[in-house]
């Protein structure tokens, strides 16, 4: 029973990413070599609908990682670096 509950929780969390919005936000801000990851557990606020992890080369050429936090209602995205 615990295994089923854990599998359901992981399925729900994996659905809480928005790779398309994350990629658009990052590329629009000048990031290159963007690699989208899965759900970022601690990268965003509890008020954010989606929390998508990433690694990329920043606008200054330095490799960075972080999360793109986005919301369904306001259709906005915030880039948060680790």
pTM of the predicted model as reported, rounded to 2 decimal places: 0.79
Domain layout of the chain by residue ranges? 2-81
- 65 backbone φψ class: left, alpha, beta (φ>0; ψ -120 to 50): beta
As a whole number of angstroms, the distance between CA 64 and CA 30 comes to 12
Beta bridge partners of 52: 39, 68
pLDDT digits (tens, 9 = 90+) for 5-59: 655 555 455 458 999 999 999 999 999 999 999 999 888 988 888 999 999 999 9
Count CB atoms within 10 A of the CB of residue 68.
Answer: 30
Q: In the structure encoding, which two tokens stand for residue 41, read together?
A: 């557990």
- Three-state secondary structure call for residue 33: strand
């Amino acid at each position: 029973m615990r295994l089923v509950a854990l599998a359901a929780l992981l399925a729900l969390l994996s659905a809480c990413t928005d790779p398309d919005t994350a990629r658009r936000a990052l590329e629009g801000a000048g990031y290159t070599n963007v690699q989208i990851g899965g759900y970022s557990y601690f990268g965003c606020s509890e008020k954010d609908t989606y929390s998508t992890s990433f690694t990329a080369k920043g606008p200054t050429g330095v490799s960075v990682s972080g999360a793109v936090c986005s919301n369904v209602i306001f259709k906005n995205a915030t880039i948060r670096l680790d």
